Structure 1
């Protein structure tokens, strides 16, 4: 057994008293490190905390026949899952050829040129057998390590390649031992058997193997790779009474290995419930992110709703989805967490397009409504999916949606790096914005007698403004890109700054510092937007 695997087995079965030392995402300037001080924010911080505008690399490792049919042509029946392909003839050759051709250098270039700064890569537990064959023990994939052992090298190479393009990578456990939902994209066909003790325990072991080997790989590169955004514990798990406790246990063991790594959890379409779960566990699990998937093409209600109404329901701030995203995002942010949309698309059911004169126009408005909504409330979003084997699906394939101008030519703030380099009035506008905000803050609270410390608002505003501009200017710290990064995961970032501030200056009236910080962030963002428009 691998030495690392032995370490994992020991610590999953017997929780350690203290995990190995790793760089903390919340370390402050002057924190002690073994070795030279690590500057803050580091490149890793810029990747992990920036707003993620991304795409899913669907059917690269976890196959879905409706996306990529070729690997299924020699699969055994029912020929719908990875297990069916793996049991077919020449499976190793079929899969390795697919892995090496589905995403190539040109695809990374295209993604970066669109302003997309991140990818979500769905994998199955069996794809880790090249790092540790024990992941297959006691599972449906036992004895198939020769088929999948080549996947691990390709997964780590994807991290390395993405970094060259300034692209962050979120690794998503899409297929867990026993299947966590009924769909074949969970690795096999048939009913889910994830929710029994053996499979749930083994999945935690799989996740610890994944995190251990990923962090070791990132550290083995010179310089270390900063672009691992985090780990998603399970994709679309069906709801079960034991899921919440399983999340807690999985997070506990992962934090023992790497306390700083962001952890993403699926909401089982019970978004408010799991926002509450993250909020109630915020003190023991920092930087936990809730993943909600938004589709409007599957239910009977979706089918009978016209495309224009779907769009209206996303643009009306009083409608259900905007209300829910606003409510959940605020709750998570206040707890030091964050909300992302891990999957969304431009797909609409034919029933929604029945009376539409121009389908492309209807899809374009629908996509734009989603993007605007996500930008308003979410720390990140990932389109499903990057491409399909058969061209022409403008709802599900990003490549086709972009070609038809349904998806924007580019997303994010970009094309004006020169504006940042030549901006000499930054500090003047900073003080002007602070004075205005502080005056309004003091004026408002003067109406309510009480003990205040408005200097905390002052400090918070300036810190927030400065941090926002740290991200804007970090464009020069990342691989070449015309797109300007911005702080997206405000919840965990603000909690980190609050901890620094309270340690140095006490804990009274911290709400003023936090209010000032958030206003400083927004003022800086408004300032940059105005600067870009003026030029």
Structure 2
């Protein structure tokens, strides 16, 4: 079958960046929207309670990410963005999403957000960029940080807030499920782990799957990667686990240099937990937040030496993510003021901390479809497959291997030739792709105990 754009956007290796503080504001990234916020002036809720909130927010939404930003990302092979949003940004779709929440009085303030989010998705597609929509701020705030929409205590696990979050997610998924370049929806960002989280994840995933069988659903690991990798892996549908990897916040982080952090990331023995987690969720693991930031205790020397330490650290991260994960997103694209090569991707790129380009560049002359070469290579591979298994008594269906080989060849060509941007698309979620192809093959050619032969040919 010929794959449509939706499938390629969602299954390809996601190489991306967060568009931080566009809709869910963070004062350390963008100071100006807080200029008339109510105390403590740290969250969207504070801005909404302040003076001229609607005007301030809409001016910011319209100005923060520019056409030059989209062009900059496209030229560097960035094929995906993660856009953090709050449930209150959905009130332009249905104001009932605010019912019973602290944001209910502010529908007029936020009603213009969704139109701009929808435009962002459309603009991203014009640049060949996918969009992961991340519910960064849930009713009752799911973590203790101001970027969960409010300051104060975590009330997310109160029943009415869990229900309100589900309603918001159902609204969001219903609207975006058929948009080709929406690569997924993340249920909630960095929730504080709690006994109620696994059952809520399970019931919410099931509810959203009843709306669409195909849209990838992302869950954050709540800093317990193995627990939620097991939860995702136990589902017979596509669930992707998000882990955020930072090495700048703890006392242990401060006692290691950038070189030592890089060495740890490259040491298979120290990263066994990461690869094991990926295996538990069928390879459906991403790192949707990471950065070049290191604790001041990890840095030494002049600016050049500090940039070198950040460089070896980030390159070790990228090597790890490229090898094990289905995708990654740097935090964040840019900041409003000041130089910050740890958190600002544009600054980190200028300083050669992050690469100038991600993935493989598209060849100027393109890639030509060569079915004759495909068939010759398929015949060689089938010969080797047949010779090997003929030495082991049993029932085989060698033709399934041949079908798989041709399918895999055609899939690679389809991904490599997709789109018109400078970067080539590659299959990122390989196990899930093989699972999908196996199911299609069985439906078309019949069930068999030899479906493994199709898989061997495909892979």
The reply to whether TM is greater than 0.5 is yes
Q: Which residue in 2 is equivalent to 1:136?
A: 98
Alpha-carbon separation, structure 1, partners of 2:292 and 2:440: 42
Q: What are the Cα deviations for residues 7-62 of structure 1, in whole angstroms up to 9, with x where unaligned?
A: xxxxxxxxxxxxxxxxxxxxxx5xxxxxxxxxx31111111111111100000000
Q: CA deviation at 1:81?
A: 0.8
Report matched runs for 1:173-192 at 5 Å.
Answer: 173-192=135-154
Q: Kindly tell me: are residues 332 and 459 of structure 1, through their superposed partners in 2, closer, same or farther at Cα, counting changes over 3 Å?
A: farther
User: Secondary structure, in 3 states, of the residue corresponding to 1:413?
Assistant: coil
Q: Kindly tell me: are residues 450 and 64 of structure 1, through their superposed partners in 2, closer, same or farther at Cα, counting changes over 3 Å?
A: same
Q: Which residue in 2 is equivalent to 1:301?
A: 252
Matching of residue 392 in structure 1 with residue 339 in structure 2? yes
Alpha-carbon separation, structure 1, partners of 2:83 and 2:156: 21
Alpha-carbon separation, structure 1, partners of 2:41 and 2:64: 19
Are the counterparts in 1 of residues 258 and 312 from structure 2 also a CA contact under 8 Å?
no
Matching of residue 325 in structure 1 with residue 325 in structure 2? no
Q: Which residue in 2 is equivalent to 1:529?
A: none
Alpha-carbon separation, structure 1, partners of 2:181 and 2:22: 19
Q: CA deviation at 1:236?
A: 0.7
Are the counterparts in 2 of residues 434 and 462 from structure 1 also a CA contact under 8 Å?
no
Q: CA deviation at 1:434?
A: 6.2
Q: CA deviation at 1:326?
A: 2.3
Q: Kindly tell me: are residues 429 and 514 of structure 1, through their superposed partners in 2, closer, same or farther at Cα, counting changes over 3 Å?
A: closer
Report matched runs for 1:341-356 at 5 Å.
Answer: 341-354=287-300
Q: What are the Cα deviations for residues 382-413 of structure 1, in whole angstroms up to 9, with x where unaligned?
A: 01001011131001000110111111111111
- How many residues were matched structurally? 457
Match of 2:229 among 275, 288, 310: 275
Q: Which residue in 1 is equivalent to 2:414?
A: 470
Question: What is the TM-score when the length of structure 2 is the normalising length?
Answer: 0.94
Q: CA deviation at 1:429?
A: 6.0
Alpha-carbon separation, structure 2, partners of 1:515 and 1:402: 40
Q: What are the Cα deviations for residues 483-509 of structure 1, in whole angstroms up to 9, with x where unaligned?
A: 111111222221111112222232212
Matching of residue 203 in structure 1 with residue 148 in structure 2? no
Are the counterparts in 1 of residues 366 and 417 from structure 2 also a CA contact under 8 Å?
no
Q: CA deviation at 1:447?
A: 6.4
Report matched runs for 1:16-95 at 5 Å.
Answer: 29=1, 40-95=2-57
User: Secondary structure, in 3 states, of the residue corresponding to 2:367?
Assistant: helix
Q: Which residue in 2 is equivalent to 1:412?
A: 359
Alpha-carbon separation, structure 2, partners of 1:140 and 1:87: 11
Give unpaired runs (5+ residues) of structure 1.
Answer: 1-28, 30-39, 219-224, 519-535
Alpha-carbon separation, structure 2, partners of 1:419 and 1:146: 50
Question: What value does the CA root-mean-square deviation take over the aligned residues?
Answer: 2.0
Alpha-carbon separation, structure 2, partners of 1:460 and 1:420: 21
Question: What is the TM-score when the length of structure 1 is the normalising length?
Answer: 0.81
Q: Which residue in 1 is equivalent to 2:330?
A: 383
Report matched runs for 1:428-447 at 5 Å.
Answer: 428=373, 431-432=376-377, 435-436=380-381, 439=384, 442-443=387-388
The runs of at least 4 consecutive aligned structure 1 residues that moved more than 6 Å come to none
Q: Which moved more, 1:170-179 or 1:370-379?
A: 370-379
User: Secondary structure, in 3 states, of the residue corresponding to 2:431?
Assistant: helix
